[in-house]
A and B are shown apart, each in its own frame.
Chain A
Amino acid sequence: MASALGFSTARRAPEVTVLNAPLFRGLMEQMQDDARRVVLDLGPARPETVAILGRFRCRLEIVALAEGLDALNASPEPGEVREIVSELLPPRRAEAIDVVLCWDLLNYLERPTLAILMAEILERLRPGSLVHALIAYSTPRMSALPERIVPGDDYRLLHSAVTADERTAPRYSPDDLARSMPGYAVERAMLLRNGMQEFLFRH
Chain B
Amino acid sequence: MFEFGKKDSPDHAADPSTPEAARRDIAPAETASRTRAATGGGGRRDAAIIGPSIQLDGDLRGQEDLLIEGEVNGTVQLRDNSLTVGSQGKIKADVYAKEIHVDGLVEGDLFGSERVVIRKSAQVRGNITSPRVSLEEGARFKGSIEMDSAAVDAVVGKKRGPSVAEAPTKPATPAASVAARSGVAG
Name B133's contact: one of A49, A54, A58, A64 (CB within 8 Å). Answer: A54
Q: Contacting chain A: which of B18-26, B76-84, B148-156?
A: B148-156
Q: Which B residues have a C-beta under 8 Å from some C-beta of A?
A: 118, 133, 135-137, 139-151, 174-181
The 5 closest A-B pairs by CB, nearest first: A54-B178, A47-B176, A50-B176, A45-B141, A51-B176
User: Which secondary structure dominates where chain B touches chain A?
Assistant: strand
27 A-B residue pairs with CB within 8 Å: A36-B148, A36-B150, A36-B151, A44-B140, A45-B141, A46-B135, A46-B137, A47-B136, A48-B174, A48-B176, A49-B176, A50-B135, A50-B145, A50-B176, A50-B178, A51-B177, A53-B147, A53-B178, A54-B176, A54-B178, A54-B179, A58-B147, A58-B148, A59-B144, A59-B151, A62-B144, A90-B144
B142 A60 Cβ-Cβ under 8 A: no
Interface residue A147 (Cβ < 8 Å from any Cβ of B)? no
Residues in A lying within 8 Å of B, measured CB to CB: 36, 44-51, 53-64, 90
CB distance from A148 to the nearest CB of B (A): 10
Tell me if B176 and A64 are in contact (CB < 8 A).
no
Known: A54-B179, A59-B148. 15 other contacts (CB 8 A): A36-B150, A45-B135, A46-B137, A50-B133, A50-B176, A54-B133, A54-B177, A54-B178, A57-B147, A57-B149, A59-B146, A59-B151, A62-B141, A62-B142, A62-B145
Q: How far is the CA of A53 from the CA of B144 in the complex (A)?
A: 12
CA distance A49 to B148 in the complex (A): 15
Q: In the assembled complex, how far is the CB of residue A159 from the closest CB belonging to chain B, in whole angstroms? A: 15
Do the beta carbons of B178 and A56 come within 8 Å of each other? no
- The reply to whether B148 and A62 contact each other, CB–CB distance below 8 Å, is no
Is A59 in contact with B176, judged by CB distance below 8 angstroms? no
Q: In the complex, how many angstroms separate the beta carbon of B71 from the nearest chain A beta carbon?
A: 24
Closest residue of chain B to A148 (Cβ to Cβ) is B137
Which residue in chain A gives the minimum CB-CB distance to B180? A54
A57 to B178, CA, bound (A): 11
**A57 and B174 form a contact (CB under 8 A):** no
Say yes or no: B175 contacts A47, CB within 8 Å.
yes
